[in-house]
């Protein structure tokens, strides 16, 4: 399921003490034996549900607009579409992105431009770099700040602790 739109209905409770049975003269309430009456009406709204979504914090984006240009903000948007795991890792299908795959996805031809972008994002607290023996070889992978973007409600405590300073910066 990609996205499903469902019409929002408004449900109102009807007070049966206001209505009388014309045949018997009794209140409707006496005939309901404790049951309640509900009225359902369509509204002009829809709820859109999706299995694949990204939550982007508006305050964090507004904060970053002071330090990043549109292209750099666009790179964050591209990376946020690929977040996975409770560690909020930037993924390439079923494995974390490497420098090479991330550079290709972001459409940055120059290695130096890519390196400058990554360093800037790390300095601002957008990304955290993990380097080590990952999946059988020495690799570099990236964790994105969950206070900026995430695809899940539950994030590992270690990740929150890494980025908590960023959260405090945008709230100042």
Q: What is the CATH number of the domain that holds 130?
A: 1.10.10.10
Grade residue 125 by pLDDT with cuts at 50, 70 and 90: very high
- Tell whether 72 and 107 lie within a shared domain: yes
Residue 6 scores a pLDDT above 60: yes
- Tell whether 102 and 42 lie within a shared domain: no
- Tell whether 72 and 146 lie within a shared domain: yes
Q: Cβ atoms within 10 A of the Cβ of 26, count? A: 10
Number of domains making up the chain: 2
Grade residue 80 by pLDDT with cuts at 50, 70 and 90: very high
- Tell whether 101 and 45 lie within a shared domain: no
Determine the pLDDT at residue 113.
96
> Phi and psi dihedrals of 77, rounded to 5?
-60, -45
Question: What's the rounded Cα separation, in Å, for the pair 62 and 4?
Answer: 29
- Quick one: average pLDDT of 70-89? 94
- Tell whether 166 and 129 lie within a shared domain: yes
- Quick one: average pLDDT of 114-133? 95
Reported as type and span, the H/E element at residue 114 is helix 111-124
Residue 60 scores a pLDDT above 80: yes
Mean pLDDT of the chain: 89
Q: What is the pTM of this model?
A: 0.74
Domain span at 16? 3-50
Q: Which two tokens stand for residue 61?
A: 């984006």
- Tell whether 42 and 86 lie within a shared domain: no
- Tell whether 103 and 71 lie within a shared domain: yes
């Amino acid at each position: 399921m990609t996205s499903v739109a469902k019409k929002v209905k408004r449900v109102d409770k009807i007070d049966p003490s206001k209505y009388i049975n014309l045949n018997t003269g009794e209140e409707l309430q006496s005939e309901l034996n404790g049951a309640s009456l509900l009225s359902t009406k369509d509204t002009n709204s829809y709820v859109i549900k999706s299995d694949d979504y990204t939550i982007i914090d508006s305050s964090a984006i507004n904060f970053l607009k002071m330090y990043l240009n549109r292209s750099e903000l666009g790179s964050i948007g591209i990376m946020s579409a690929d977040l996975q795991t409770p560690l909020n890792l930037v993924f390439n299908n079923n494995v974390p992105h490497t420098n090479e795959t991330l550079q290709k996805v972001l459409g940055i031809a120059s290695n130096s431009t890519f390196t400058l972008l990554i360093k800037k994002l790390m300095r601002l607290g957008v990304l955290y770099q993990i380097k080590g023996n990952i999946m059988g070889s020495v690799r570099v992978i990236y964790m994105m700040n969950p206070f900026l973007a995430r695809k899940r409600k539950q994030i590992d405590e270690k990740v929150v602790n890494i980025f908590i300073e960023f959260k405090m910066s945008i709230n100042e």
